[in-house]
């Protein structure tokens, strides 16, 4: 949109008056944020309505991305950017003596996701709108997002994240579009006189699902899609009164029970109640979403047989898998279709992405739990399973054991990934290696049955948030050097390649990096009270804390350097600042021990005069989207060091690359494709190959104790975990030691130790030659365009969803 500074100022003043009955001069920062936010939402509204009308008029196929997480990050900055008015607004505010970035900082970062999967969903939302794809999100409006992390005495403490305490300016509550979702009761098939069976579901509890819509603003293209998040409420006091009658206390506790469905992201799943609640959440947003989509489809006046020509539904990992039986239910029980027709439509509509091969994340629900909570859905799943098994009856080649292993229901459980694969027309992994592993390992038998369903879609990130917003100086340098076409066509970042030896561009790249490092150093000083030198190498690992991501390998290398510094007079190294950011799942004890270890190590190293400030270790608390926006542009080394085969893709690896960091990586996930794009001289690779890892996992033969006994460096490092050398980790040091030695080092930390050390040394040598380093940084930035999510969502649109892109 186009707006003059004068007009904006007038609008802003008016908004402030109508909201708070006061002048801008008299307003607080938070009032300024809300006034600006609501004003920007007004600006968005017109095209929001128009986009919906346009889709309807042209009968466009709509994509609905079903995800139990959307990790959006703050929206004011990105909405202004995508509307194309951020510069105008910034200047106008500056003229009024107001700093836009100060206002942007007021916004709460809604943490409605855990990590990669939720952030990917958010990047896709931005890229779909920006590419003119009619794509919308469907999820849950959690009252509390991911916990706030505090570090106290080196330990992680979790606090509730009450992000809705003040208003959320972006959402619109739509009570008139509320729908009802049924839980519990009894379901069976009643035989009719004509021999037909009619499904019956009685004694259910009805929950009201109220939608809150958030606009998803496309980049300068007038497209505004919708993220619909559902909130659970009681219908009215007289509906669904609990068994104990309608006393005030009963109604209150009933209300609480219902509202708990949309209360927290990922309820504690260590007990039955928590797991039941999670399943409730899954069905809740899926059923509400599907009912609405079906209603909207019917308004088009088309026959249901054409449903999948107008609607694509994407299942983001298995959490929304009940979408498959739920669509079957709606098509049969409500719309009266026969099984065969409903099944054809369902399969043609649904597609599924797998995000991990970690077996503990493969969802399965006890049959009894499903029977209790979703009796009608269970009947449908049982029928899908029966038909699946029957479909092999006439085929002699299929081994019955294969059928048993791939069936949906077995061993007393409903296997959600199997349901997704059988019930949808497309299954994709999120990086080439990951998809190959699915095909030849985890889902091998399914791949043999349905090779045509499998495909790869390598993840991507929105370069608008991760470059334009997070690193405005670099964005400006790019505009000046190669023009601004990369903003729309990220692959044009390639144009920067020819400047890799250009002194001036090199100097600018280095200056910008230093400025970003300085900003981060100030933040570290304020938050952690640690002084770090912006001229030291900034070496960063930020992601969820998980054993397979191997923050431990990074920490053990630091410990190695520390021991060398204090014991070996010959040892020298370039000054380095190691920065970590990571949340551990509240119940993941081992991950929390690693956090404690990193903090204890930092405490000691940072304060040991013998280190002479060569090493600083910083653990930044509460890592999330907002913090990432400051951290990533300041990175020089990006640690992507997961055990090969374990990281499905990674996406922060791409963000770092785009901001000119050099990646230190195993050949895991999308690192493999980053290597292909940027070329071997511009990335530092180490560690075991895929084959080696798979061989060990399959055939055994790895013995970590042997390494401990034969490599004096490993021995020195591990011993210092348990001999009191590192203070304050008596328990943690011992547990970590035992995980590596007594439990044979499940993630090959010690096996890769030698090669990691060598890689770190190579990296340091490269850094000594600033020309080479800057050249590498430029190569990385210019090769990162294919990792824009714009590229990825277009591949989904043409390869899976079969949707068009609307002309701007």
Residues in contact with ligand 7GP by the rule CB under 6 A: 114-117, 120, 317, 355-356, 361, 430, 459, 647-651, 669
Token pair, residue 686, equals 């180490």
645 included as an active-site residue: no
**Least distance to ligand 7GP, CB of residue 483, Å:** 31
457 included as an active-site residue: no
Nearest CB to ligand 7GP, comparing residues 114 and 506: 114
Nearest CB to ligand 7GP, comparing residues 141 and 319: 319
Token pair, residue 37, equals 């936010």
226 included as an active-site residue: no
User: Which 8-state DSSP code applies to residue 209?
Assistant: E
Residues 6+ apart with CB under 8 A from 80: 40, 86, 89, 100
Nearest CB to ligand 7GP, comparing residues 266 and 748: 266
Nearest CB to ligand 7GP, comparing residues 167 and 361: 361
Buried b (16+ CB within 10 A) or exposed e, 316-346: bbbbbbbbbbbbbbbbbbeeebeeeebbbbb
Nearest CB to ligand 7GP, comparing residues 182 and 319: 319
**Least distance to ligand 7GP, CB of residue 747, Å:** 14
Name the β-bridge partners of 135: 63
CB 418 within 8 A of CB 408: yes
Which of the following is catalytic: 655, 751, 775, 794? 655
Which of the following is catalytic: 355, 439, 517, 596? 355
Token pair, residue 327, equals 């669509």
The three state secondary structure string of 510-551 is: HHHHHHHHHHHHHHHHHHHCCCCCCCCEEEEEECCCCHHHCH
Nearest CB to ligand 7GP, comparing residues 116 and 633: 116
Strands 537-542 and 454-456: unpaired
543 included as an active-site residue: yes
Which of the following is catalytic: 549, 614, 616, 751? 549
CB 339 within 8 A of CB 332: yes
557 included as an active-site residue: no
Cα 304 to Cα 283: distance, rounded to the nearest angstrom: 23
Residues 6+ apart with CB under 8 A from 480: none
Cα 130 to Cα 183: distance, rounded to the nearest angstrom: 38
Helix, strand or coil for residue 149? strand
Closest CA to 158 of 148, 166, 143: 148
Which of the following is catalytic: 41, 222, 228, 543? 543
CB 337 within 8 A of CB 246: no
Nearest CB to ligand 7GP, comparing residues 115 and 139: 115
CB 515 within 8 A of CB 534: no
CB 115 within 8 A of CB 358: no
Q: Which residue is nearest to ligand 7GP (CB)?
A: 116
What single string gives the DSSP state of each residue in 4-61?
A: -HHHHHHHHHHHHHHHHSS-GGG--HHHHHHHHHHHHHHHHHHHHHHHHHHHHHTT--
344 included as an active-site residue: no
**Least distance to ligand 7GP, CB of residue 549, Å:** 8
Nearest CB to ligand 7GP, comparing residues 363 and 735: 363
Q: Which residues are catalytic?
A: 355, 543-544, 549, 651, 655
């Amino acid at each position: 949109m186009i707006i003059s500074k004068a007009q904006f100022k007038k609008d802003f003043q008016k908004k402030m008056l109508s909201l708070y009955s006061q002048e801008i001069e008299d307003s607080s920062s938070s009032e300024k944020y809300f006034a600006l936010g609501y004003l920007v939402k007004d600006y968005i509204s017109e095209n929001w309505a128009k986009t919906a009308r346009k889709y309807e008029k042209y009968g466009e196929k709509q994509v609905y991305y079903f995800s139990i997480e959307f990790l959006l990050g703050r929206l004011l900055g990105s909405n202004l950017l995508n509307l194309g008015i951020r510069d105008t607004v910034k200047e106008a505010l500056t003229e009024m003596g107001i700093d836009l970035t100060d206002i942007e900082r007021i916004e709460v970062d809604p943490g409605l996701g855990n990590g990669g999967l939720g952030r990917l969903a958010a990047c896709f939302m931005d890229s779909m709108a920006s590419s003119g794809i009619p794509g919308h999100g469907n999820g849950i409006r959690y009252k509390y997002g991911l916990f706030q992390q505090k570090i106290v005495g080196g330990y992680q403490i979790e606090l509730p994240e009450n992000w809705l305490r003040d208003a959320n300016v972006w959402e619109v509550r739509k009570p008139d579009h509320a729908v009802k979702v049924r839980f519990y009761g009894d379901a069976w098939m009643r035989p009719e006189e004509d021999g037909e069976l009619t499904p019956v579901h009685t004694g259910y509890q009805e929950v009201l699902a109220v939608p809150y819509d958030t606009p998803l603003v496309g980049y300068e293209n007038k497209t505004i899609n919708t993220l619909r998040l559902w909130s659970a409420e009681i219908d009215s006091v007289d509906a669904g009164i609990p068994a104990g009658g309608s006393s005030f206390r009963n109604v209150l506790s009933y209300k609480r029970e219902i509202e708990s469905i949309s209360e927290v992201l990922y309820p504690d799943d260590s007990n039955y109640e928590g797991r039941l609640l999670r399943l409730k959440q899954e069905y809740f947003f899926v059923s509400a979403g599907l009912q609405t989509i079906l209603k909207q489809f019917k308004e088009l006046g088309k026959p249901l047989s054409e449903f999948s020509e107008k609607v694509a539904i994407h299942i983001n990992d298995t959490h929304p898998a009940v979408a498959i039986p739920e669509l079957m239910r709606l098509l049969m029980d409500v719309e009266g279709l026969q099984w065969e027709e409903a099944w054809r439509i369902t399969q043609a509509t649904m597609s599924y992405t797998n995000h991990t091969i970690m077996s503990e994340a493969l969802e399965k629900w006890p049959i009894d739990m499903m029977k209790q909570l979703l009796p009608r859905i269970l009947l449908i799943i049982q029928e899908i399973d029966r038909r699946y098994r029957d479909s092999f009856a006439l085929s002699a080649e299929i081994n019955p054991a294969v059928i048993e292993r791939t069936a949906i229901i077995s061993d007393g459980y409903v296997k959600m990934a199997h349901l997704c694969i059988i019930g949808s027309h497309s299954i994709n992994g999120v990086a080439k290696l990951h998809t190959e592993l699915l095909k030849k390992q985890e889902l091998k038998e399914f791949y043999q049955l349905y090779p045509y369903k499998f495909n790869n879609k390598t993840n991507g990130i929105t370069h608008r948030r991760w470059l334009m917003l997070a690193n405005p100086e670099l964005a400006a340098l790019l505009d000046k050097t190669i023009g601004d076409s990369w903003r729309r066509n990220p692959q044009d970042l390639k144009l920067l390649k020819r400047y890799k030896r250009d002194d001036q561009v090199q100097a600018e790249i280095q200056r910008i990096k230093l400025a970003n490092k300085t900003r981060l150093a100030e933040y570290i000083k304020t938050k952690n009270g640690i002084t770090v030198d912006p001229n030291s190498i900034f070496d960063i690992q930020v992601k969820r804390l998980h054993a397979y991501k191997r923050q431990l390998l990074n920490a053990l290398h630091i410990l190695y350097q520390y021991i060398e510094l204090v014991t070996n007079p010959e040892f020298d190294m370039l000054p380095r600042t190691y920065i970590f950011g990571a949340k551990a799942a509240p119940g993941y004890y081992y991950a929390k021990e690693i956090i404690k270890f990193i903090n204890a190590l930092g405490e000691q190293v940072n304060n040991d005069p013998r280190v002479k400030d060569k090493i600083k270790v910083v653990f930044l608390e509460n890592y999330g989207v907002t913090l990432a926006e400051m951290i990533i542009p300041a990175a020089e080394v990006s640690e992507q060091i997961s055990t090969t085969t374990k990281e499905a893709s990674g996406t922060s690896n791409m963000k770092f690359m785009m901001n000119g960091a050099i990646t230190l990586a195993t050949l895991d996930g999308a690192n493999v494709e980053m290597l292909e794009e940027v070329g071997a001289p511009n990335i530092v690779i180490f560690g075991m190959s895929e084959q080696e890892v798979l061989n060990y996992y399959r055939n055994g033969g790895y013995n970590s104790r042997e390494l401990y006994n034969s490599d004096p460096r490993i021995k020195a490092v591990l011993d210092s975990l348990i001999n009191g050398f590192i203070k304050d980790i008596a328990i943690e040091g011992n547990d970590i030691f035992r995980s590596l030695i007594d439990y044979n080092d499940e993630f090959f930390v010690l096996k890769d130790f030698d090669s990691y050390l060598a890689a770190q040394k190579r990296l340091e040598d490269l850094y000594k030659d600033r020309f080479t380093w800057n050249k590498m940084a430029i190569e990385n930035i210019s090769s990162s365009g294919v990792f824009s999510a714009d590229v990825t969502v277009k591949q989904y649109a043409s390869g899976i969803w079969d949707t068009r892109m609307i002309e701007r």
